[in-house]
Structure 1
Amino acid sequence: MSKDRKTTELEEGWEYMQNGISKLKGILDGSLEQFSSEEYMMLYTTIYNMCTQKPPNDYSQQLYDKYKEAFQVYINSTVLPSIREKHDEFMLRELVKRWVNHKIMVRWLSRFFNYLDRYFIARRSLPPLNEVGLTCFRDLVYQEVHSQAKDAVLDVIGKERDGEQIDRALLKNVLDIYVEIGMSQMDHYADDFEAHMLQGTGAYYSVKAANWIREDSCPDYMIKAEECLKRERDRVSHYLHSSSEIKLVEKVQHELLVVNANQLLEKEHSGVRALLRDDKVEDLSRMFRLYHKVTRGLEPVSNVFKQHITAEGTALIQQAEDAASSQAANGGVQEQVLIRKIIELHDKYMTYVTACFQNHTLFHKAMKEAFEIFCNKTVAGSSSAELLATFCDTILRKGGSEKLSDEAIEETLEKVVKLLAFISDKDLFAEFYRKKLARRLLFDRSANDEHERSILSKLKQQCGGQFTSKMEGMVTDLQLAKEHQSSFDEYLANNPSTRPGIDLQVNVLTTGYWPTYKSSDINLPAEMARGVEVFKEFYDLKSKHRKLTWIYSLGSCHINAKFDQKTIELVVTTYQACLLMLFNTSDKLSYSEIMTQSNLSDDDLPRLLHSLSCGKYKILSKEPNTKTVNQNDYFEFNHKFNDRMRRIKVPLPLVDERKKVVEDVDKDRRYAIDAAIVRIMKSRKVLGHQQLVLECVEQLNLMFKPDIKAIKKRIEDLISRDYLERDKENPNMFKYLA
């Protein structure tokens, strides 16, 4: 820079600048061409020179003030008059045009005055030129017209809501002014526009909702509500600021869904109850979509869902109860139908939970609670635990069920295990199931080993390893028993002299796995006794340290009976066979003689003699010929008996095992409660009564719902056995005694 540069005075320099500003206005209104690079450089240099002259000719402050003044003059002389003379959409268009021009003007002037920005403003910490330019527009134009503009915008939005086509781009541009004028703060948009827009939206939809709730069905109302929400979101994406979306949607939801929730959901012929009753899957899905976005909006829906399932399930139980009492002789078929129907009910509503209610936890919970209510009711004296075990038995037993494919059986077993989750007495199910599994395995009634193993693995997953350990042991035991039998057959083949003279099959089982069975010292016929001896000799060779206990009550025999007409093979239990063999040496025997010779008790004998003399097949004749067996009766072999079959199975009257199972389970529960109390006290050392009971219930809940009274009783028992003691000061506190 040369030292003898001519000083530019303020008036002279500013006059030159004003010519430049005039040209800029001409460019903006389209009457003049763009600046040439020479003109641009001259304007920039003029400012540069005026700011870099030595004091007192450094005009930085004066130019900073004149920069602002230039905008004020232009706005007051040109911008405001042109906006004031227009109204409604025309005013909005003018406002947008003037704002766009203003931003261009700010950009150009900021370039000309750039030297101020870089040095003077930076040193003095003054607002930058860009900000000064925008502030002028805000203070002079925006403050005057924002309220009028907001009314015009809301008016246009109202037209769009009523179905008119509008200029969305125009609204977007106007609302951008509210955002940009805040210079990265949103308060102008929020206070001057959004708050009014939300208030208007609420009022608009409040009127709509009041009409629709009167006139429309619940599904029709929801279709309209969903459509409105979609349109409002659409509005945000096209011209409202994205920060408005949540507030706007909440406002519409409040007016359409929250305010009228009860009235809508409880509409008599079309509310939630009716939609569930009529399987309106699509409407229920829509209801979920709408209400899952409303805070706690789904609770009333899930409550009705729970009530609905409970009512349907309870009706099924009632039907089964009625059918069972009217067809007492139907032998449990009704109960099997019931379990099938409950499975179908579960399938149906599980589809609702996954499809309509998108697997929402609230509906899983509602369904679980509903099923727990009716799945724990008794039917015709049978608990659901027993019914479920019987149902499994029907499916897994040979000839027990209608012919199902392997896939269908697997699927059904999967569903049964799911139902088990709703049953509180899982231990009772386990005991019934174990009893029935034992019968299937011991009497070779199991249809398929694979299915037996498959359900056990499913039960293990659901209830844990402890639940199935004994059952798994039983299945393994039977495999081992088959191997034992093969070894025994081999042993007999190699030692012909030891053969007992009858075909003998023995299952050797592990006591701990199986249910307990009565072993009685029945007097076996010589042939059978010989067989037992031979097997014992064989078994002692293999395992000297194990003791065999013979459970004759579980055995079965095939014996040939020679009647006058023909010989018939009888399939009977070991006990029945022992009684029949007595008639090889005597024609006629009294009840007491039979009792003495067989060594059976009054518990077993009447039932056995009844099966042979009063049942379907009268192998023995009885005097007197009555339907019941008494201690004064006489029996003789019925030579005249005949049947068209060459082989018949002589059934034994069924013994109701229910009482025994329930007693066993009660006993096990006492042990389980004791163990839980000791476990808790061992880890806590000192605990209050309330807390101990709570923790005990929590631990045992997986298998059964413990009775509070039973827990109290067990606590007393453990105190008497010196496992716990009461605190001397506070009788509600217990101490653990190691």
Structure 2
Amino acid sequence: MNSTDTNLQKIRGMVERLLNEQPQTISFYELISSVYDLVMNKKSVVVYEMVSQIIKMFTLKLALFIKNLREENYLLTINQKWKKHNLLISNVSNVFSILNEKYIFPNNLPTLESQGKLFWIESVLRGNQGIQFEVLNKSIELIMKEISNERKGNHIDRELMRSVVNMFTQLSDDKRFYKVFFEDQFLQNSEIYYRNESDELIANNLCGPFLSQVLEIFKNEKKRVESYLDESTLDKVIKIFNQEFLIRHMSTLKQMESGPIFMLKKKNYEDLKNVYTLFLRVNEKKWLIEKYQEIILAEGKAIMKKFKKESTTDVQNYHTIQELINAKKKYDELLIKSFNKDKDFEDTLNRNIYEIVNINRSMAKHLPKYIDYRIRKLKNVSSEEIKQQIESFLDLFKVISEKDLFKKFYEFYLSRRLLSSQNFFEEQEKLIVHKFKLNSWANFTQKMEDMFKDVSVSRNWYQPFQSFQSENMQKSNIITMSVKVLKESVWPIKLIPKCILPPIMKKNLEGFESFYQSIHPEQVLNWRINVGTVELLFRVVNKKFRKNFILIVSSFQALLLLNFNNGNTNSNVLINNGNENGNENENGNGNENGNGNGNGNGNGNENGKEKDMKIENKIKNGDFNINNNGNENENIKPKNLSNNTVNNGVNENNNKQNNDHKKKIKQFSCKQLQELTKMPTQYLIPSLASLISKKSKILKRIKFKEKNTISEHDVFQVNTGFKSNQRKIKVVRISQHYTEKEKDKNMAWVNQERKHLIESMIIKVMKSRKVLKHDELITQVTKLVLSKFKPKITMIDQRIRSLIDREYLSKHLNQYKYLP
């Protein structure tokens, strides 16, 4: 026997022992040497064919074994035999690496491993005796049966399924065998299952539950593919799933009463999340956005229609704005909870909120008033709720197109709050203004910031002026005053004709002027008593009781009430700024030291420097006395109790008190009160109305022609039967809302400012471009002023014509030219 035959015999024995898992009789090195000798002696063909034949015969024996398998462990056994077969062929192939290098690869022949797979397909899966793919078909049938069982909720061996399916993918390098023989069958079965399941679900469920179950089924199907099928199958499964569960039923889903439109109206977050997730997969996002937009606009326009052009009360408007804020909040939550912060949905929401808010200019007027209403109610609100409210203000502010108009109104209401110590939340006010600044143009908040500065600086006048009073005024004339000195160009406070002030108030105002001008002799102060606050000590004495109250009133209300005073001529007004608490100290016959509240404001203007101020007054021994026609012999508090002792106060002053009782209650007509105070009618009538209102009842009207209207002949007197469980009473204030005349005046001012702004932008653009067509100029100017307001094209056209008339521009055909 020659060396070639010897080596071939060694190799045959080695391969057979490897496949039969028997121990080798020769060393691995000797085997490698034998293969090397044969290959080098050009016996590669013989070696390749011999080894291939041995593998084929081995596989045939394996096929005969598998053919007789029982169904019970069919897949398990096939999987085990396949893994073993694969491993043995791999071990054999490792010995013939030189054969691969010198013969198989150069001649583009199947490797021994590939031959093993081919023989497995032909001998095991296809079967013999003319039966086509008997084992393969049976294996696939059992796999499909297991998948069906799992879809019904039964537990299966996923690891076994994954291993068997992997056999199909490994039988060809391009996974062709898997796709042709397994995947196609799986997809066909899945399509039938999806169709039947979707038909049954949609027939027996509302839209929400249907979509919820569809998502659950999809999750299971996706997990199934990822667990034991090839990853390339997933996209195909999703496509069929979407077709059968969604696309085929899309028209029905859209038209269902419980469908997406209903969900949008009801803000069903979870159901809409399912709608968004599923509709996105079948390119129905555009339709969903359209319906989303329709519902936003419908709800928003319905809310905006509730604004009244002429309204006697703002309560409805407050509710309307709150309703709009609540709707915006719900749509924001919808964006987050249902639409995954989708940029397209977010843009749709912002675009439509902008359109809703700017349906007319009412929001630019009503929002500042609403913010004023909310800020005045912050006293018992948590910091988190305050933060949310501020964000809600900002949401609407951002989309208001006429921010210049908003600014004008907001400055008015801010000034009222800053001058009302009882409604001043400085930290929150500054935060809101800061937010406005971040979301508007550079000097948008300049006047607002100047207001804060004036209020802050004015606090420094309090102590020095008290010292001035002590040194320069009689003690009996001193009242505690808090004065705010304000810049006239900053504060929107109307200058009214001078009123006749009570002597005590007049002396203290003159005292402050002397004090202030000793420091700033170049400045002149103009008082604004129309925004002041006063606290009056109100003593009621009648048959049933006597009681002292502190009334928090406006300066105008105080001027009216003091005319009804039955006390001595030196009775003082109790005035404070709201930062000091009223102190009550009653001993024996009614000694009381009272602290009250009051504001007086003034503007000064010289050399371009303008100031405004606020006064705080404190009186120790004055009162506003109300007696019951002197018929009752009640003890009345002495006017100058500091001169009397507690123990003998009643006896020493008894005669004086009796005389006080006999004083007749004063009565005045509306006309008389106006003559006494010189108060403008637009302030007099509301002040009287507030003092006789059901909430106040400080005065009562004893003669009148019409119940709901105050005329100059109506007669008033103090309500001697006044009762209240509270000692400190805030009387309804004079309405300081804009009148229609003031609104027209401010709109005229805003329109004038807009004209100047548009002209400046036209000049700016034309200086840069020199020559520009009409449409291009309109577009450029609109962009530049859009942050402040949305200009009408007609307004821009008018300003262009005005600039042409003034020879800043020239026009030729459809082009404009800048004239330097």
Superposition RMSD on alpha carbons, in Å?
Answer: 5.1
Distance 1:547 1:247, change over 3 A: farther
Find the partner of 1:383 among 362, 372, 378.
362
- Whether the 8 Å CA contact 1:425–1:704 is kept in 2: the answer is yes
Matches within 5 A, 1:692-711: 692-711=777-796
AA aligned opposite 1:336: Y
- Whether the 8 Å CA contact 1:306–1:370 is kept in 2: the answer is yes
- Whether the 8 Å CA contact 1:306–1:366 is kept in 2: the answer is yes
- Equivalent residue number for residue 205 of structure 2: 216
- Equivalent residue number for residue 39 of structure 2: 51
Find the partner of 1:446 among 411, 417, 423.
423
- Equivalent residue number for residue 473 of structure 1: 450
Find the partner of 1:242 among 209, 217, 231.
231
Matches within 5 A, 1:161-172: 161=148, 163=152, 168-172=158-162
AA aligned opposite 1:51: V
Distance 1:320 1:682, change over 3 A: closer
Q: Distance in 2 between matches of 1:535 and 1:723?
A: 52
Cα distance per residue 1:94-149 (max 9 Å; x no partner)? 86566435423432332333432455667x57558455535744885699689874
Q: Distance in 2 between matches of 1:612 and 1:15?
A: 126
**Structure 1 residue 79: deviation in Å?**
6.0
- Equivalent residue number for residue 340 of structure 1: 322
Q: Distance in 2 between matches of 1:50 and 1:590?
A: 133
Distance 1:182 1:651, change over 3 A: closer
- Equivalent residue number for residue 3 of structure 2: 8
Cα distance per residue 1:344-379 (max 9 Å; x no partner)? 33444433333343433344344434544544456x
Q: Distance in 2 between matches of 1:417 and 1:627?
A: 43
Find the partner of 2:171 among 181, 187, 197.
181
Find the partner of 2:259 among 271, 279, 282.
271
- Equivalent residue number for residue 258 of structure 1: 247
AA aligned opposite 2:162: K
AA aligned opposite 1:177: M
**Structure 1 residue 168: deviation in Å?**
4.1
**Structure 1 residue 410: deviation in Å?**
4.5
Distance 1:35 1:695, change over 3 A: farther
- Equivalent residue number for residue 30 of structure 1: none
Find the partner of 1:510 among 473, 484, 487.
487
Q: Distance in 2 between matches of 1:614 and 1:116?
A: 114
Distance 1:181 1:564, change over 3 A: closer
**Structure 1 residue 480: deviation in Å?**
1.6
Q: Distance in 2 between matches of 1:686 and 1:40?
A: 92
What secondary structure is seen at the aligned counterpart in 2 of 1:35? coil
Unpaired runs of at least 5, structure 1: 1-5, 28-32, 576-587
Matches within 5 A, 1:112-511: 112-117=95-100, 124=106, 129-130=111-112, 133=115, 136-137=118-119, 140=122, 149=136, 153=140, 156-157=143-144, 160-161=147-148, 163=152, 168-183=158-173, 185-190=174-179, 193-194=182-183, 197-198=186-187, 200-268=189-257, 270-276=258-264, 280-292=268-280, 294=281, 296-317=283-304, 331-376=313-358, 383-397=362-376, 404=381, 408-444=385-421, 446-463=423-440, 466-484=443-461, 486-491=463-468, 493-495=470-472, 506-511=483-488
Distance 1:155 1:51, change over 3 A: closer
What secondary structure is seen at the aligned counterpart in 1 of 2:756? helix
Q: Distance in 2 between matches of 1:225 and 1:612?
A: 68
AA aligned opposite 2:400: I
AA aligned opposite 1:112: V
What secondary structure is seen at the aligned counterpart in 2 of 1:261? helix
Q: Distance in 2 between matches of 1:375 and 1:680?
A: 30
Cα distance per residue 1:153-207 (max 9 Å; x no partner)? 3773366235266554454334323432333x44554565445544553454234
- Whether the 8 Å CA contact 2:690–2:731 is kept in 1: the answer is no
Q: Distance in 2 between matches of 1:615 and 1:347?
A: 38
- Equivalent residue number for residue 106 of structure 1: 89
Matches within 5 A, 1:34-49: 34-36=22-24, 38=26, 40=28, 42-49=30-37
**Structure 1 residue 437: deviation in Å?**
1.4
Q: Distance in 2 between matches of 1:718 and 1:155?
A: 88
- Whether the 8 Å CA contact 1:372–1:422 is kept in 2: the answer is yes
Per the normalisation by structure 2, the TM-score is: 0.68
AA aligned opposite 1:157: M
Matches within 5 A, 1:688-727: 688-726=773-811
Distance 1:150 1:421, change over 3 A: farther
- Whether the 8 Å CA contact 1:51–1:60 is kept in 2: the answer is yes
Q: Distance in 1 between matches of 2:688 and 2:6?
A: 140
Q: Distance in 1 between matches of 2:436 and 2:198?
A: 52
What secondary structure is seen at the aligned counterpart in 2 of 1:664? helix
- Whether the 8 Å CA contact 2:161–2:228 is kept in 1: the answer is yes
**Structure 1 residue 392: deviation in Å?**
1.7
AA aligned opposite 1:63: V
Stretch deviating more after TM superposition (430-439 or 277-286): 277-286
Tell me if 1:17 matches 2:11: yes
Distance 1:535 1:126, change over 3 A: same
What secondary structure is seen at the aligned counterpart in 2 of 1:466? coil
Matches within 5 A, 1:543-562: 543=520, 556=555, 558-559=558-559, 561=562
- Whether the 8 Å CA contact 1:572–1:650 is kept in 2: the answer is no
Distance 1:390 1:609, change over 3 A: closer
Name the count of aligned residue pairs: 682
**Structure 1 residue 615: deviation in Å?**
8.8
Q: Distance in 1 between matches of 2:262 and 2:708?
A: 57
- Whether the 8 Å CA contact 2:169–2:177 is kept in 1: the answer is yes
- Equivalent residue number for residue 539 of structure 2: none
Distance 1:155 1:649, change over 3 A: closer
Aligned-residue sequence identity (percent) comes to 23
Q: Distance in 2 between matches of 1:496 and 1:291?
A: 82
- Whether the 8 Å CA contact 1:316–1:338 is kept in 2: the answer is yes
**Structure 1 residue 714: deviation in Å?**
2.8
Distance 1:115 1:333, change over 3 A: closer
Matches within 5 A, 1:544-693: 556=555, 558-559=558-559, 561=562, 563=564, 607=682, 641-644=717-720, 656=739, 657-693=742-778
- Equivalent residue number for residue 637 of structure 2: none
- Whether the 8 Å CA contact 2:772–2:817 is kept in 1: the answer is yes
Cα distance per residue 1:444-482 (max 9 Å; x no partner)? 453432332232233334446533222121122122233
AA aligned opposite 2:346: H
**Structure 1 residue 82: deviation in Å?**
6.8
- Equivalent residue number for residue 582 of structure 2: none
Greater length-normalized contact order (CA 8 Å, ≥ 6 residues apart) = 2
Stretch deviating more after TM superposition (103-112 or 504-513): 504-513
Distance 1:524 1:684, change over 3 A: farther
- Equivalent residue number for residue 580 of structure 1: none
Distance 1:522 1:22, change over 3 A: closer
- Whether the 8 Å CA contact 1:719–1:725 is kept in 2: the answer is yes
Distance 1:36 1:142, change over 3 A: closer
Q: Distance in 1 between matches of 2:683 and 2:443?
A: 37
Distance 1:406 1:126, change over 3 A: closer
Q: Distance in 2 between matches of 1:69 and 1:406?
A: 86
More helix by share: 1
AA aligned opposite 2:782: V
**Structure 1 residue 435: deviation in Å?**
0.7
**Structure 1 residue 393: deviation in Å?**
1.5
- Equivalent residue number for residue 581 of structure 1: none
- Whether the 8 Å CA contact 1:569–1:648 is kept in 2: the answer is no
Cα distance per residue 1:617-644 (max 9 Å; x no partner)? 799x9x99899999xx9999x8x84443
**Structure 1 residue 239: deviation in Å?**
1.4
- Whether the 8 Å CA contact 1:502–1:531 is kept in 2: the answer is yes
Distance 1:672 1:263, change over 3 A: farther
Unpaired runs of at least 5, structure 2: 533-554, 574-597, 603-667, 693-697, 724-728
